[in-house]
Amino acid sequence: MKRVLFVFFWVVLFGLNGFCFDRVVSLSPALTDIIAYVGAEKKLIGVTVFCSGEVCRGKEKVGGIVNPNVEKIYSLHPDLVIATTLTPKRDVEALKRLGLKVLVFRLVSLEDVVDATGRLGELLGGDGAKGRKLLRRIRRAVLPLSRCLKGKRVVIVISSRPLYVAGSKSYLGEILKLAGAEVVPDTTFSVISYESLVELRPDTVLLVGNGNLYLLARFHVVRVKPADELLHPSPQVLKGIGELRRAVCGK
């Protein structure tokens, strides 16, 4: 009983601790976007070299996503480091050994993005409802899309060489499913062959980003450009959905 109490005591203490992070390093551009969305960009002190937006102006660069500079991160004395599952475990462990608090997020499905937004809102902005609000906003944003996508078989292509697609279990696929589209293949993200693309018989190939149109000539291709916002598993997709609507439905 004593032990249970002890554990409970610590859990509560750590829970309280969570509300006072104000020096945060983000090892993922998507997580950086989430921080901006929950209005905590002032608490952000370090970002990756891939971040170029307004949010990252004046922030320290701490290396790449898979090769972060552990020393640089430590030298900023953050009280929280947030990373995605893309960052190697050994770097995360090294940061923890230095006594830093590290949170690792998986950002693949829409639920992941919503959860991360809720969690970071709670930890940094004191508002845990941001996540649910984001989901509602996304639902609302896709409504006009269903007019042009309902019942259509869609393949979402992210790059054409190799053919890298976002499947129905990825956040992109789930967003299109909300709009009533049938998204194939049934995966998260994967590399597929051109032959299997033919076999999937899509009504529409949604090319998100740069790709060789020549290679997709036999399909009905809709190109979404600019696509940066859609490619961030973060609240940025809200803006991306706007681009998507312009591309798919016209005007």
Return residues touching other proteins (CB under 8 A): 49, 60-64, 66-72, 74-75, 86, 88, 90-91, 93-94, 97-98, 191
Contact 237, 175 (CB under 8 A): yes
Burial degree of 198 (CB within 10 A; 0-12, 13-18, 19+): exposed
Give whichever of 72 and 137 is closer to other proteins, judged by the CB atom: 72
> In terms of CB distance, is 52 or 67 closer to other proteins?
67
Please state, in angstroms and rounded to a whole number, the distance separating the CA atoms of residues 209 and 217: 16
* Vertex 227 angle, CA 246 and 162, to 5°: 125
Nearest to 156 by CA among 93, 200, 110: 200
Question: What's the closest the beta carbon of residue 74 comes to other proteins, in angstroms?
Answer: 6
Smallest distance from other proteins to CB 158, Å:
14
Name which of 33 and 91 has its Cβ closer to other proteins: 91
- For the bound state, the minimum distance from the C-beta of residue 94 to other proteins, rounded and expressed in Å, comes to 4
Pick 93 or 111: Cβ nearer other proteins: 93
75 vs 171: CA distance, rounded Å: 35
- Number of Cβ within 10 Å of residue 138's Cβ equals 20
Q: Tokens 């393949």 correspond to what residue?
A: 155
d(C-alpha 58, C-alpha 72), whole Å: 16
Q: Phi and psi dihedrals of 190, rounded to 5?
A: -160, 165
Q: How far is the CB of 157 from other proteins (least distance, A)?
A: 18
CB closer to other proteins, 146 vs 159: 159
Strand partners, 24: 44, 80
Please, which residue, 65 or 215, has the CB nearer to other proteins? 65
Q: Which is nearer to other proteins, 88 or 209 (CB)?
A: 88
Give every strand in the sheet of 60-61, ordered side by side: 60-61, 44-47, 24-26, 80-84, 102-105
Min CB(41)–other proteins separation in Å: 20
Tell me the closest approach of the beta carbon of residue 102 to other proteins, in angstroms. Answer: 13
Q: How near is the Cβ of 96 to other proteins at its closest, in Å?
A: 11
